[in-house]
């Protein structure tokens, strides 16, 4: 998911260089959405890992 986010950001930069501002805006929005989803899932995974590690020691 992080790779897809980076890909959309690169696509947005290329689109701006060629003057396709509509495509750049859409690509930037999709990239931002994917990045936020990735960050939320990473934080949830980290919390779940900490909780499960806590339960195993007791």
pTM over 0.85? The answer is no
Tens-place pLDDT, residues 4-58: 888 888 888 888 888 888 888 888 888 889 889 999 999 999 999 988 887 776 5
Are the C-beta atoms of 28 and 8 separated by less than 8 Å?
Answer: yes
* pLDDT value, residue 41: 92
Distance CA 43, CA 51 (A): 12
Upper half-sphere CA count for residue 47 (Cβ side, 13 Å): 6
């Amino acid at each position: 998911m992080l790779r897809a986010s980076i890909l959309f950001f690169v696509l947005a930069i290329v689109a701006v260089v060629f003057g396709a501002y509509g495509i750049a805006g859409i690509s930037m929005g999709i990239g931002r959405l994917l990045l936020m989803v990735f960050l939320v899932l990473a934080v949830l995974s980290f919390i779940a890992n900490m909780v499960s590690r806590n339960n195993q020691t007791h």
